[in-house]
Amino acid sequence: MLIDPYHKDWLVYLTERNASLPDNANLMLLLDGAFVPGLFRRFGDEYRPILLFESLPGCSEETKDVSPFVVQFDALNKSSLGILSHCSGWPMVSAVATYESAEQLSARLAAWCVVEIDAQRFNFRFPDTRRLPAIFEALTPQQRTEFAGNAISWAYVGRDGQWQNLSIESAPSATNPVEQARLDDQQFATLVADSEADEVWVRLLDRGIESGLLPSQRHAVLSNGLRIVDAAGADMSTKLSWCAHCIGTYVDDDIEMLRTRFALWFHQQSRNDDEALHHTV
């Protein structure tokens, strides 16, 4: 699992939010099929899940199985609530309260599945709720309006398995979907930096590093450790060794204390390297 197990009452939020909606508003679920391939097929034709990737050229059956999709929430259908239980532990659930229909919201979001950066196109992983907060923060105010339309609220299950909210400013009326979403180099750099802790964890796993921490705790430890080691301009080997040390000792989140610990750790590493070199010579 990539995030903490969902809070035991996570579905209660959906029921209560749906019941509190103003007239003519709907509660739409955005689900990232990449984490539970084929999940959309379990909803059945009566729910008519709309796949965002279907609008992309060359969409195959395999592509459909990992596509993000939109489905309207129905608190009365117990089978749909059972289907959602398969999402726990995966960063894949957003709940969007909006005046748009499922078709309108899907058309809006499909335009953001691929973004253009410096004349190159990239898969934009906004349905992944680990990426969503930084993505939304990196967008310009105009882009946020184009992305969210007239959404009343946008909640997502965060790394701690509980509902979090984007800072939505509801537009009085929905803007038309963009034809081609574009980001500048600074926005791209911001998003690359946001994914670093997750990428480092994958590399540590490849090294056989294990952790008994919850995913949210592990991410916090790695994020703080990277904040220190990146500021020091360390190379990748040092960065991975330091992050492994942080995971192994579960360092606290006092940044000043962590900075001191890094200096001591780095000094000891340098001594060990010097001694190893001396014995080799």
User: Tens digits of per-residue pLDDT, 268-280?
Assistant: 887 665 455 445 5
Task: Calculate the average pLDDT of the chain.
Answer: 90
| Burial state string for 53-84 with b = 16 or more CB within 10 A and e = fewer than 16 | beeeeeeeeeebbbbbbbbbbbeeeeebeebb
As a whole number, mean pLDDT of residues 124-148 equals 95
Q: Which pLDDT value is given to residue 46? A: 73
State the pLDDT confidence band at 255, using cuts at 50, 70 and 90: confident
pTM here? 0.91
Is residue 113 scored above 80 in pLDDT? yes
**Structure confidence at residue 21 (pLDDT):** 95
Q: In this structure, which long-range contacts are made by residues 55-60, counting pairs with CB atoms below 8 Å and at least 24 apart in sequence? A: 55/107, 55/110, 55/113, 56/110, 56/113, 56/114
DSSP 256: H
Q: CA-based angle 218:219:225, to the nearest 5?
A: 90
Band the pLDDT of 6: cuts 50, 70, 90: very high
Q: Where are the alpha helices (DSSP H) in 20-131?
A: 61-65, 78-84, 102-110
For 200-240, what is each residue's pLDDT tens digit? 999 999 999 999 999 999 999 999 999 999 999 999 999 99
19-74: pLDDT as tens digits: 999 999 999 999 999 999 999 999 877 778 999 999 888 788 899 999 999 999 98
Sign of the CA dihedral with 146 first, then 191, 96, and 110 last: positive
